[in-house]
Amino acid sequence: MKVIGAGFGRTGTRSLKAALELLGFGPCYHMSEVIAEPYRVRQWLEVGEGRGPGWDEVFAGYGSALDWPAASYWRELAEHYPDAKVILTVRDPEKWYASVSETIFASALAERREQPWRRRAVRWLVARRSPDFALYPRMARATIMDRIFDGRIDDREHVIKVFERHTAEVEAALPPGRLLVFEAGDGWEPLCAFLGVPVPDEPFPQANDRAAWQAKRPRRRLRLILRGR
């Protein structure tokens, strides 16, 4: 493991994933990997419930890791991989909250409410066809919603305070030579200087805006029902 991402989801992690892979620090482990290979959901549930596999097993074959759920364990990963550099992706707290509340948190909150028959039917089919992925809500609670936000993801003031406190804690815990505080809009130069690699002759990746995230969700469920992964 050469690079560890400590930034929360919806702070440009998908763009950074693409950038790291282009720079030779891939494959990069991201929540999208967990969704694409649902056996990883079970792995993270075990981690979240304190009975999981070791980090080397979770990240076997990967050169970097970022986004949730990995970012929830940035301290443990930084200790386990002492030679890895750490990137803290950040964003204006108000804009970050607007994004996360309409995507990741909206999905999690929907799971708490009584579901209409159509949603319940889809969930039943997913559970039958992909029992590992059916554990996703439980995994997300254990590794993100409860672990990071004390389950209070519907409390705007609390969530923003957690976000700001997290940024301060990461900055205080790691020396400047090991930590880069990074916004996707910063582009290639600070990232490449930090990692000691040349600047590519192409634009910095821009991926996974809010609309794209929301559009992908129903397609993921349909794929799971059809393929049974």
E-assigned strands of 46-140? 64-65, 85-89
CA distance 18 to 219: 21
Q: DSSP characters for 16-39?
A: HHHHHHHHT--SEE-HHHHHHSTH
Q: Determine the pLDDT at residue 110.
A: 75
Phi and psi at residue 57, to the nearest 5°: -75, -45
Which residue is it, tokens 């301290």?
A: 75
Q: The tokens of 19 are what?
A: 């950038």
Give the domains, in start order, of the chain with CATH numbers. 3-227 (3.40.50.300)
- Give mean pLDDT in consecutive 10-residue pieces for the chain, a chain of 229 residues: 98 96 98 92 96 93 98 98 98 96 86 60 57 87 96 96 98 96 96 98 82 53 50
| Gap between the terminal Cα atoms of the chain | 27
SS3 229: coil
